[in-house]
Amino acid sequence: MTSTPHVSRWQLCQPVATPVSSAHSSSSLPTVSEAIGKVSPSAPPVSLRYLDEFVGKLHCASALLQYELFPDAKEITESMALFNTVRRYIEPGDCEKDVNAEPGSKHDGIVVVGDGNTPRTAALFAFRMRGWTCYSVDPAMEKETSERSKRWTEITNLVVVRNKVENVRIALRRAIVVLVHAHVTLDQALSAIQAEQICGVVTLPCCNWYGQQESLFGRGPDLVYDDFSVLSNHREIRLWIGDGSASNGRSAKASRAHSELVSGVMKGCVRKELTAGKQGIRRSGAINDEDAEKQAKILAKKHDGVLDLIGDTLAELTGDPPPLNREESLPDMQVVGGMSSITLASCLRRDTGVLVLCWRPRRAAVRSLLGDGYTNVYTISLAEEKSVRVTDNGRRGLNSLKLQLHKCTIDADVDPGTEEVRDGGRLQLTCCGCFTLESSFALHCDEECNSQKKEEITVAFDGADFPAPPLSCIVDAGFVYRGFRGRSKKNPIFFRRIYRTLDHILAACGHITNNRTSPSLVCLTPRKRWHKKEFLAHEYEVLSLVAKEPREGTPLYAYCCFKRHAVSPMVPCLTTESSSKCTSARDTALEIWTELEQKLVARKAELDDKLIGIDSPDARTQAASAQERADAEALDTLAGFGKVYAQATGEITRVRRFSNGTAFVSLVLTGSRCDRPLQLFLQHETLGFSIPKFVKVASLLRKGDELIAVGFLARNARGHSMLQVEALSLARSGEFEAYN
């Protein structure tokens, strides 16, 4: 299948015009008013004004070229266009450096995301906005070992970060965020910045990221325009002015920005307006709002997701059961015999809160569990039909499904001779609350082909006057197996999303725990392969048992599934949580690193002039000699062990961790790449950590990280010199970094 080209949903407000000449000066460029009168859509007014400014007026141009930052003219025009946007629309008076700021307080910064292998855009800002510290963040950034990258350290107020922005946290007073063809969402970029004020956000999207950078925390851009002085097809610039806290000021700035484009102040720039219905744009170039809404509703109804499977399967409880073939009837037939409950009795206590999912009106699994003595048995049914609506200007659909929760009991007082007598009594269902499931999904899959948020599902419990039931296990009595009828049975991602949603139903009640002795899911199905890694074993530890081997063939399997990581009931439940997990891991790591850095500074202050710096082979030899002299003096004075304190800085080449709260780290010193590594000994008592805290600290140490360690020299079991660490800090990490 051929991929659909990614097109911006913003379209030019007016036809553009052919330039009067090749235009090497601003005086020869037509204004916007002139362009309206000279319509020629086939020839856009490409201008060279940024190159003219760079070559003829920019004093720092020669320095930028000497640092080998720009590989071609296109990159120059892109960086100049972004700087021009910041210069023109982010008020200099509002974002000037505070001269009254206290020493040591947070500074103002410009964070450039996606700069490429050289910090070209950030360097341009560093030269031209001297009061701001400029950060260039990109995982493809050239390593510090190259000759030209070493010279980048000479640029004042430039910080080069070779990492993903998701793994970075930058603390600032005021921040301006610039995205240069960045392959991240705006929310991901902003989550890395802790600032008291966001002065503005500018993005120059490209490739398949047009649809990913349309909103900033749900807010659309204040201004979108094409800058025809950018020598690239991807010349659309989107601007968010301010942080949204002062809406009146932001509206005034946006209005001024619009008026400047119309009046021709920004020559070569043409404003764009949002056009609804992306599919319609591709077909006819424009589409009205009504047609776009109809088209979006059609796409939303065609969507077949988790809520559709749950709703369609529960709908069979209210209607006449369809005829079943032998294989489809197996789960329902065998549960009646009680074989599933015999399997459960060994691992599931009879007072456990169990949610049973059935699709047959008779609810055989519920009756079987109640008959075997389980007292807290619940089930669900449809409370309302699934509703579908369109949000986010026709880009996403929203499904809503309301499920009724019932407490199940058996009433043995029934009329003799009825079918209910043969079943052990009448099944009574007592309402005790509702679950509301909402699913948000992309209507145009190509807009989010690289996004992890194809379908986001949230689950909420509304008990009204009822307390949340103590649910801790779900029994799937052929429910999901039945739901896959007529659907793809070979889609593991969709399969896992279903069971993840069931986990969130448990979590919504707030009683889920980390109990590893009791299963959180019991799945009854004829499908043998569901226990494999791509299905249930992806997130569960699975105990597979054969519940019953029928005489006529297909067995029924009972999979007792133990959750590896329980879902937290304190946070909103999403089926795709990779971004939030990454952010949580980053914040936890950075908090530990901040604590380590504070302890390192405090310990160095205590030792003061006693520290010996080990940064070369000669310094290492001198430290070893000092240790021998200290040992000899201690032996003469009967003082015991003489300590020589040292500080070592270098790159980690090996880490060995042990469960007793110790670790060995091999460190290649900064000034001696070819010398034998220095051995560091980490012990939780010496560092002042508990064993769990030490495990967290040791888990952050990775090969390639730059480590600063302070401690005293000692000898290992072989008599070799080593540094027993009392305080340490990571100067640079290969995964997470913090800047303050």
For the chain, which domains are there? 10-98+105-274 (3.40.50), 305-576 (no CATH), 580-739 (2.40.50.140)
CB 351 within 8 A of CB 376: yes
Residue where the block lists tokens 């609350």: 433
pLDDT at position 2: 38
How far CA 625 is from CA of 176, 460, 618, 621, 679, in Å, comes to 52, 67, 11, 6, 17
Distance between CA atoms of residues 729 and 363, nearest Å:
60
pLDDT of residue 137: 94
d(CA 309, CA 402): 14
Check if the beta carbon of residue 728 is closer than 8 Å to that of residue 708.
Answer: yes
pLDDT reported for residue 194:
87
Classify burial at 723, counting beta carbons within 10 Å of its beta carbon; exposed 0-12, middle 13-18, buried 19 or more. Answer: buried
Q: Report how far apart, in Å, the C-alpha atoms of 409 and of each of 8, 366, 421, 455 are.
A: 57, 9, 15, 36
**pLDDT per residue over 134-156, tens digit each?**
999 998 898 777 788 888 989 99
**79-93, 110-124, 137-151: which is most confident:** 110-124
Q: State pLDDT tens for residues 564-585.
A: 654 443 334 333 445 555 666 7
pLDDT digits (tens, 9 = 90+) for 332-377: 445 444 444 455 666 778 888 999 998 878 788 888 888 888 899 9
pLDDT in tens, 2-30: 334 457 888 887 554 444 444 444 344 34
For residue 201, what are the β-bridge partners? 177, 240
Over 492-536, what HEC string results? HHHHHHHHHHHHHHHHHCCCCCCCCCCCCEEEEECCHHHHCCCCH
Handedness of CA 470, 471, 472, 473 (dihedral sign): positive
* SS3 at position 73: helix
Q: 174-188, 264-278, 542-556: which has the minimum mean pLDDT?
A: 542-556
Output the pLDDT for position 331.
46
pTM for this model (two decimals):
0.50
- For residues 243-248, give the mean pLDDT: 48
Per-residue pLDDT band for 244 (boundaries 50, 70, 90) equals low
Q: What is the pLDDT of residues 426-439, one digit of tens each?
A: 888 999 999 999 98
Measured in whole angstroms, how far is the alpha carbon of residue 318 from the centre of its chain?
40
622 vs 321, 573, 615, 628, 670, CA distance in Å? 87, 58, 11, 10, 16
In single-letter form, the type of residue at position 312 comes to D
Share of the chain above pLDDT 70, in %: 71
Largest CA distance in the chain: 103
Mean pLDDT of the chain: 77
SS3 of 156, please?
A: coil
CB count, 10 Å around CB of 721?
A: 16
pLDDT at 327: 47
Does 421 have pLDDT greater than 50?
A: yes
Sheet of 396-411, strands arranged across: 455-462, 426-442, 396-411, 377-391, 353-357, 471-477, 521-525, 556-563, 540-548
Residue 641 phi/psi, 5° resolution? Answer: -95, 125
Lowest mean pLDDT across 96-110, 602-616, 658-672: 96-110
Q: What is the predicted pLDDT for the residue at 73?
A: 93
